Chains A and B, each alone.
Chain A
Amino acid sequence: KNEVEQSPQNLTAQEGEFITINCSYSVGISALHWLQQHPGGGIVSLFMLSSGKKKHGRLIATINIQEKHSSLHITASHPRDSAVYICAVGGSQGNLIFGKGTKLSVKP
Chain B
Amino acid sequence: GAGVSQSPSNKVTEKGKDVELRCDPISGHTALYWYRQSLGQGLEFLIYFQGNSAPDKSGLPSDRFSAERTGGSVSTLTIQRTQQEDSAVYLCASSLSLNQPQHFGDGTRLSIL
Contact = CB atoms under 8 A, between A and B. Distances in A.
B63 interface: no
Interface in B56-93: 56, 59, 89, 91, 93
A93 B48 contact: yes
A106 interface: no
A98 B42 contact: yes
Determine the main DSSP class of B at the interface with A: strand
B102 interface: yes
Interface string B25-48: 000000101010000001111001
B31 A94 contact: yes
A50 B9 CA distance: 33
Interface of A: 30-31, 33, 35, 41-45, 48, 86, 88, 90, 92-101
Interface of B: 31, 33, 35, 42-45, 48, 50, 55-56, 59, 89, 91, 93, 95, 98-104, 106-107
